[in-house]
Amino acid sequence: MTRKEAINRVLMRLSEIPECEAEMRILAEIRDELPLIHWSDASIRDTIEQFVLDYGRLPTVTDFKKAGMPPHPIFKQKYKMTLAEWLEKNYPAPKRKPDELKEKYTEDFIADYYRIKPRSQEAFNKNRSCGTKGWQTLAGYYGVKSWRKLLKELELPLYFDMKRDHIPAKLKVNVHVDNVFMTTTEEN
């Protein structure tokens, strides 16, 4: 149980007692200010565990730039290692294999492609979901360099027309000749 969870449980019990309104307010302020300024090993681990509960994932190095997270220099001072090294040692994130990543990125891409129905790669990248990678990332996994070739590789329908794909129209032209215009005069 994290400190925040403990305070929340106490606050729920105190809410049943009307005389404890002031105490509840103060405990709520403490809960909202957690972690406190002093970064002990317990408070650092508690903050990480609370992050996992709040976001459903382990924090990345960039997440430690957010308010309420221990700053990067704390790890150098306290543990004599960088934040990345400390996270890898204490909270190792499972590494995905390239094939698993390719499959996940492809599923996300296809789902967003059908949702957006983009007319261009810019429209796709602009409107894609937060977790979906850009088309260039997926193109790298499939060994293609263009948007059009990626769509062809994934057998996705086109939501745009390419001029070069148009079949030239066969036109029948009837020419009517006016004799007045056909007359020419020759001058000597």
What number is the average pLDDT over the span 26-50?
77
| pLDDT reading at 49 higher than 60 | yes
Q: In the prediction, which pLDDT does 15 show?
A: 84
Residue 185: pLDDT band (50, 70, 90) is: low
**Residue 167 burial class via C-beta count within 10 angstroms: exposed 0-12, middle 13-18, buried 19 and up:** exposed
Residues 124-134, buried b or exposed e (16+ Cβ, 10 A)? bbeebeeebbe
Residue 82: pLDDT band (50, 70, 90) is: very high
Residue 80: pLDDT band (50, 70, 90) is: very high
Residue ranges covered by each domain of the chain = 3-90, 98-165
| pLDDT reading at 17 higher than 90 | no
